[in-house]
Amino acid sequence: MTQQTDSVSRAGMIPKRILVGFDGSPFAEQAFEMALSLAALAGARLGVVSVATLPEPPGEVETQATLESAAEHYEAAYENLRRRAEDRGLTLETRILVGHPAEQIIRLAASTQVDLIVVGHRGRSRISEWISGSVSKRVVGHAPCSVLVVRSR
């Protein structure tokens, strides 16, 4: 580590725990790639969280079915992410939660004391964003730590 990066690290500016909000969209893929690069450079722990949303009003049967469906969908995507992390010498921690994406990302970041949240500029559904507001905008506004919003190239 150089003297400059060492002083930045002592100031707490190099993240040691990074969390990526991942919905499987191309924007989330770019956010993951950015977080992967940062984690490899910083020697940080890297986590990915995906959030399944429930139909309104949620019932017990719908909650369980949604969670099972999300687990099946995201576990397949996580295998690719895990291989990419392992190629960079990192171990990937993954979680699938149920609820509002921004709220769950913020809650997990607070409970696990991450230093940086990385999210894509846009998510999977533009209609959903229009109705409920942008997930990235909400995360930026309420996160307990710094947030990096990755724009598409």
Q: What is the pLDDT of residues 53-76, one digit of tens each?
A: 877 776 777 778 888 888 999 998
What pLDDT does residue 41 have?
95
Q: What is the pLDDT of residues 84-103, one digit of tens each?
A: 999 999 999 999 998 899 99
Structure-model confidence comparison of residues 3 and 14, the more confident one: 14
Q: How far apart are CA 149 and CA 120, in angstroms?
A: 6
What pLDDT does residue 79 have?
96
Q: How far apart are CA 1 and CA 43, in angstroms?
A: 11
pLDDT, mean of residues 101-118 = 96
Distance of CA 125 to the CA centre of its chain: 16
Residue type, 58: P
Residues 109, 140: contact at Cβ < 8 Å? Answer: no
Residues 90, 39: contact at Cβ < 8 Å? Answer: yes
Please name the residues in contact with 50: beta carbons below 8 A apart, sequence gap of 6 or more: 21, 22, 23, 24, 70, 74, 77, 94, 95, 96, 97
Beta strands 116-120; 17-21: pairing state: parallel
Alpha helices in the chain (DSSP H): 3-10, 26-42, 60-87, 101-112, 126-132, 135-142
